[in-house]
Amino acid sequence: MLQAVSLSIPHGISSKFLNPYYLLQYADDTMIFSTIKGCDVRSLQLALHLFSRVSGLRINLSKSAFVPFNLQQSSISTIERIFSCGSTSLPLQYLGLPLTINKPDRLAYQRLIDKLDSKLAGWKSGLISRAGRVVFASSVLSTIPIYFMSVFALPAWVVRAIDKIRRDFIWGRDTSQRSGLHLINWNKVCLPKTCGGLGISDLKIQNTALLLRWLWRLYDSPNSQWSVLANRLYSKRNGSMPPLAWNLEGSFFWKDLLKLRYFFQISTRTILGNGEATLFWYDNWATNKLVYFLPKTRRPLKPHLTVAAAQHNWHALFLSPLSELLTAHKSLLDETVLGIAQDRLFLEMDFAWSLLCCFDL
């Protein structure tokens, strides 16, 4: 397949923001991107046939499909005939998640809720001890939504529906009976055991933590495919992506991430390296964001100024004398020795970024 890509079979998709994307592979699933104009369909068919012969892997055409965009029906019919597989359209299910341009519809979320219900189909909660029900709710019912929550922000009604399933099961309340009164407030049930709760995960916090990891990857893994793609699509400046430089427009997924950017900022602090990726005014590289020490009537003249640039242009940042606090920070900046390493982020707390860490926030 790599040799086929080198020969522009398939042609790939690209734009002024992106290099060509040819294919995505996960386990035994492959998604191929191509334009009809730049790709000979029969050449692509031959490449897939040769791949099957060389690797010994048979392509299951009955489970394969292609998704056309802006194609005439005659072209769609031709491709269906050549590949002996049908066409489909978005949204569709891929690797267990809805693949869609717009936000998932209610049906997609309902499938998630139904999946939890199906896990309880063979159980009678009244026949299990309460401790056993808590373990089942924590290890099974609470883990099913994790994969979904790692990509999508759950609407409030979905959270309530899942919480109701977990809550009713824990207290032994089956759908066929009215027994099983709730003895403890659900918010307390979701507290860690060290705080007097039962350790059942809070879906809102867990969902936030999982989505925050996408923002963390922009800094932690800048060369990953996700980081490169997000940087090219949504960054207003070259290089790294401090929150102020993020484009507020984009896909629904990106907009959901942007809702968490302020929480991300206050949760992290920057360790200065060369100072080129840290915003002087808006990043936590000193005791706090320096913009907080400006009068409410003042705004930074250069909001996108980096620490590296500020070290050489401090005198041009203000039109009036500095306050005492800003003067102290000027001294801090003068004493700061920048190196050659990249700036990096760390959590305010002194341990590695993890879901447990984010839950403790």
DSSP characters for 80-92? HHHHT-EE--SSE
Residue 293 has pLDDT above 60, yes or no: no
Mean pLDDT of 74-97: 85
Residue 78: what pLDDT?
A: 85
Residue 350 has pLDDT above 50, yes or no: no
Low-confidence winner among 49-63, 136-150, 262-276, 315-329 (lowest mean pLDDT): 315-329
Residue 157 has pLDDT above 90, yes or no: yes
180 phi-psi bin (left φ>0, alpha ψ -120 to 50, beta other): left
Instruction: In whole angstroms, give the CA distance from residue 158 to residue 164.
Output: 10
- State CA 212 to chain mean position distance: 7
Residue 106: what pLDDT?
A: 93
Confidence at 147, pLDDT banded by 50, 70, 90: very high
Instruction: In whole angstroms, give the CA distance from residue 344 to residue 216.
Output: 11
Instruction: In whole angstroms, give the CA distance from residue 89 to residue 72.
Output: 14
Percent of all residues in the chain with a pLDDT value above 70, rounded to a whole number = 73
Other CB atoms closer than 10 Å to residue 52's CB: what's the count? Answer: 12
Instruction: Say if pTM beats, i.e. exceeds, 0.75.
Output: yes
For the record, the structure tokens of 208 come out as 């936030």
Kindly list the distances between the CA atom of residue 321 and the CA atoms of 5, 305, 315, 331, in Å, as whole numbers in the listed order.
Answer: 61, 19, 10, 15
Confidence at 239, pLDDT banded by 50, 70, 90: very low
Residue 158 has pLDDT above 90, yes or no: yes
Percent of all residues in the chain with a pLDDT value above 90, rounded to a whole number = 14
Q: What is the mean pLDDT of the chain?
A: 77
Instruction: In whole angstroms, give the CA distance from residue 269 to residue 284.
Output: 5
Instruction: In whole angstroms, give the CA distance from residue 167 to residue 182.
Output: 8
Instruction: In whole angstroms, give the CA distance from residue 258 to residue 74.
Output: 42
Residue 280 has pLDDT above 80, yes or no: no
The span from the first CA to the last CA of the chain, in angstroms, equals: 45
Mean pLDDT of 253-277: 83
Confidence at 361, pLDDT banded by 50, 70, 90: very low
Residue 108: what pLDDT?
A: 92
Residue 353: what pLDDT?
A: 45
pLDDT in tens, 2-59: 666 555 566 666 666 667 777 777 777 888 887 776 566 777 788 888 888 888 888 8
Residue 216 has pLDDT above 70, yes or no: yes
